Amino acid sequence: MTGTAHDSEYFRRRADEARAAASGKGRGEEAAVAGELALAYAALARRRAAADAEDQPISAVVSVEPA
């Protein structure tokens, strides 16, 4: 699979979606995974925003595929 560059808004939206999934599933493993994804997407949004502010590309491309 090839990587695609996304802006910080994309990662913010994905973090919001993952947070909603985590809060809507109760206390099972799916909620824990969704919570971890929310944290990861939030970190990517911050990193992308910082790179945009410095006008530098992010060197790593992250691919998330369903299990």
CB distance 8 to 45 below 8 Å: yes
**Stated pTM of the model:** 0.64
pLDDT at position 48 is: 86
The alpha helices in 1-67, defined as continuous H runs, are 8-24, 29-54
Tens of pLDDT, residues 21-58: 888 756 688 888 888 999 998 998 898 888 887 775 55
Q: Which residues contact 41 (CB under 8 A, 6 or more apart)?
A: 11, 12, 14, 15, 18
The domain limits of the chain are 30-55
